[in-house]
Structure 1
Amino acid sequence: MTSVEAWLNANGLSLPSQADALEVAIAGALMLLALALGVFAGRALGVRAGQLWKTHVAHHGEGLWERMPAIIRHGVTALAAAIVMSAYPWSPWGGLPIGLTLGSAAAMVAHQILRGLGIPRWASWLVSGILLVALFSRAVGGLDAITATLDGVGVDVGKRRLSLLAITSALLVIVIIVAIVRLTNRIVSHAIARTSTLDATQKLLGQKLATIAIVIAAFLFSIDLLGIDLTAFAVFSGAMGLAVGFGLQKTVGNLIAGIILLMDRSIKPGDVIVVGDSFGWVNKIGVRAVSVITRDGKEHLIPNENLMTQEVENWSFSNRNVRVRIPVRIGYDCDLRLAQELMLKAATESPRVLDSPSPNVWLTGFGVNGVEHEILAWISDPESGVGNVKSDVLNRLWWKFKEARIALPFAQHDIHVKEWPGRPGEAPMPMSGDQPQN
Structure 2
Amino acid sequence: MAIVQIIPAPEPIDDFEGWLNAFAQTTVLIELAALLVCVLLAWALVRGLRRGLGLQEERSIWFGRRNIDGVLFPLALLCLAFVAREILAKHVSVALFKVAIPVLVSLLVIRVGVKVLQVAFSESKWVRPLEQTISWVAWLIMVLWVSGLLPVVLNELDMITWKVGSTTLSVRNVLEGALTGGAVLIFTLWISAGIESRVLRNATGGELSLRKAISNATRALLMFVGLMLALSAVGIDLTALSVLGGAVGVGIGLGLQKLAANYVSGFVILAERSMRIGDNVRVDGFEGLITQINARYTVIRSLTGRESIVPNELMITSRVENLSLADPRIYQSTVVTVGYDSDVDLVRSLLLKAGQSQPRVLSDPPCTATLSNFGADGLEFTLGYWIEDPQNGQGNLKSDINLAILAALRANQIDIPYPQRVIHQR
**Which TM-score band applies after superposition, normalised by the shorter structure?**
0.5 to 0.7
For residues 72 and 230 of structure 2, the distance between their equivalents in structure 1, rounded to whole angstroms, comes to: 29
For residues 276 and 243 of structure 1, the distance between their equivalents in structure 2, rounded to whole angstroms, comes to: 31
In structure 2, do the counterparts of structure 1 residues 313 and 100 end up closer, same or farther at CA, with 3 Å as the change threshold? farther
Instruction: Please say if residues 185 and 227 of structure 2, whose CA atoms lie closer than 8 Å, have aligned partners that are also in contact.
Output: yes
- Which structure is richer in relative contact order (CA contacts within 8 A, separation 6 or more)? 2
Q: Are 1:219 and 2:224 matched, yes or no? A: yes
Measured on the aligned residues, the alpha-carbon RMSD in Å equals 5.3
In structure 2, do the counterparts of structure 1 residues 261 and 101 end up closer, same or farther at CA, with 3 Å as the change threshold? same
In structure 2, do the counterparts of structure 1 residues 359 and 212 end up closer, same or farther at CA, with 3 Å as the change threshold? farther
In the alignment, what sits opposite 2:181?
A: 170
- In structure 2, what residue type is equivalent to 1:173? V
Q: Are 1:329 and 2:340 matched, yes or no? A: no
In the alignment, what sits opposite 1:239?
A: 247
In structure 2, do the counterparts of structure 1 residues 301 and 94 end up closer, same or farther at CA, with 3 Å as the change threshold? same
- Aligned equivalent of 1:28, options 31, 36, 55: 36
- Aligned equivalent of 2:77, options 56, 81, 86: 81
Q: Are 1:390 and 2:389 matched, yes or no? A: no
Shift of 1:27: 0.8
For residues 243 and 70 of structure 1, the distance between their equivalents in structure 2, rounded to whole angstroms, comes to: 42
- In structure 2, what residue type is equivalent to 1:85? A
Instruction: Please say if residues 99 and 140 of structure 1, whose CA atoms lie closer than 8 Å, have aligned partners that are also in contact.
Output: no
For residues 144 and 279 of structure 1, the distance between their equivalents in structure 2, rounded to whole angstroms, comes to: 76
Shift of 1:21: 3.1
In the alignment, what sits opposite 2:387?
A: 377
Shift of 1:408: 8.7
In the alignment, what sits opposite 2:285?
A: 277
For residues 112 and 263 of structure 1, the distance between their equivalents in structure 2, rounded to whole angstroms, comes to: 45
For residues 411 and 236 of structure 1, the distance between their equivalents in structure 2, rounded to whole angstroms, comes to: 77
Instruction: Please say if residues 38 and 81 of structure 2, whose CA atoms lie closer than 8 Å, have aligned partners that are also in contact.
Output: no
- Aligned equivalent of 1:161, options 159, 170, 173: 170
- In structure 1, what residue type is equivalent to 2:182? L
- In structure 1, what residue type is equivalent to 2:50? G
In structure 2, do the counterparts of structure 1 residues 140 and 155 end up closer, same or farther at CA, with 3 Å as the change threshold? closer
Instruction: Please say if residues 344 and 359 of structure 1, whose CA atoms lie closer than 8 Å, have aligned partners that are also in contact.
Output: no
For residues 359 and 413 of structure 1, the distance between their equivalents in structure 2, rounded to whole angstroms, comes to: 39
Instruction: Please say if residues 195 and 215 of structure 2, whose CA atoms lie closer than 8 Å, have aligned partners that are also in contact.
Output: no
Deviations 1:165-213 (A, max 9, x none): 322332333343355456557767999x99xxxxx99xx7x99899879
In the alignment, what sits opposite 1:94?
A: 97
Shift of 1:258: 0.9
In the alignment, what sits opposite 1:4?
A: none
Task: Output the TM-score relative to the length of structure 2.
Answer: 0.62
In structure 2, do the counterparts of structure 1 residues 292 and 336 end up closer, same or farther at CA, with 3 Å as the change threshold? same
For residues 147 and 376 of structure 1, the distance between their equivalents in structure 2, rounded to whole angstroms, comes to: 89
Shift of 1:114: 4.3
- Aligned equivalent of 1:70, options 58, 64, 69: 64
In structure 2, do the counterparts of structure 1 residues 255 and 38 end up closer, same or farther at CA, with 3 Å as the change threshold? same
- Aligned equivalent of 1:251, options 256, 259, 270: 256
Unaligned segments of structure 1, at least 5 residues: 1-7, 51-62, 195-199, 349-354, 422-438
For residues 283 and 148 of structure 1, the distance between their equivalents in structure 2, rounded to whole angstroms, comes to: 65
In the alignment, what sits opposite 1:340?
A: 352
In structure 2, do the counterparts of structure 1 residues 252 and 39 end up closer, same or farther at CA, with 3 Å as the change threshold? same
- In structure 2, what residue type is equivalent to 1:87? V
Shift of 1:371: 1.8
Q: Are 1:19 and 2:27 matched, yes or no? A: yes
Shift of 1:347: 5.5
- In structure 1, what residue type is equivalent to 2:382? E
For residues 48 and 368 of structure 2, the distance between their equivalents in structure 1, rounded to whole angstroms, comes to: 79
Shift of 1:19: 1.4
In structure 2, do the counterparts of structure 1 residues 137 and 211 end up closer, same or farther at CA, with 3 Å as the change threshold? closer
Task: Output the TM-score relative to the length of structure 1.
Answer: 0.61
Instruction: Please say if residues 363 and 373 of structure 1, whose CA atoms lie closer than 8 Å, have aligned partners that are also in contact.
Output: yes
Unaligned segments of structure 2, at least 5 residues: 1-13, 87-93, 374-378
Identity within the alignment, %: 17
In the alignment, what sits opposite 1:53?
A: none
Instruction: Please say if residues 329 and 409 of structure 1, whose CA atoms lie closer than 8 Å, have aligned partners that are also in contact.
Output: no
Structure-to-structure mapping, 1:393-404, within 5 angstroms: 393-401=397-405, 403-404=407-408
Shift of 1:150: 7.2
Structure-to-structure mapping, 1:176-195, within 5 angstroms: 176-181=187-192, 183-184=194-195
For residues 260 and 375 of structure 1, the distance between their equivalents in structure 2, rounded to whole angstroms, comes to: 36
Of stretches 371-380 and 338-347 in structure 1, the one that deviates more from structure 2 is 338-347
Deviations 1:115-168 (A, max 9, x none): 444464645874796489659967995497558747839763422335333223
- In structure 2, what residue type is equivalent to 1:176? F
- SS of 1:160's equivalent in the other structure is strand
